[in-house]
Amino acid sequence: MRTNVNLADDARQFAALYAYARGITLGEAITDLIRKGGKAASLPAEKVDFRRSAAGFPTFPPSGRVITTEMVNEALEDFI
């Protein structure tokens, strides 16, 4: 269905970037984002279990995967 809508500049820019990144039209991107938003709104909120280190800093619970310095350096090299 064809319709006209007024979007805030930041929302239009986000939808346009989303469309470009996925190789779809702006209309398809807006439809996809609305559907994803509807699904997310109907899901129960996920409780995050934050813990505190001995120094009092918030930490995430262990997940079994450790991020090493080498992994960070490699990611930085890819980013730059």
The pLDDT of residue 44 is 81
The pLDDT of residue 53 is 82
The pLDDT of residue 64 is 66
Confidence (pTM): 0.53
> 3-class SS at 49?
coil
Per-domain residue ranges of the chain = 9-42
How far the first Cα of the chain sits from its last, in Å, is 43
What does the alpha-carbon distance between residue 5 and residue 27 come to, in Å, rounded to a whole number?
Answer: 11
The pLDDT of residue 80 is 65
Q: Which residues of the chain have pLDDT under 70?
A: 63-64, 80
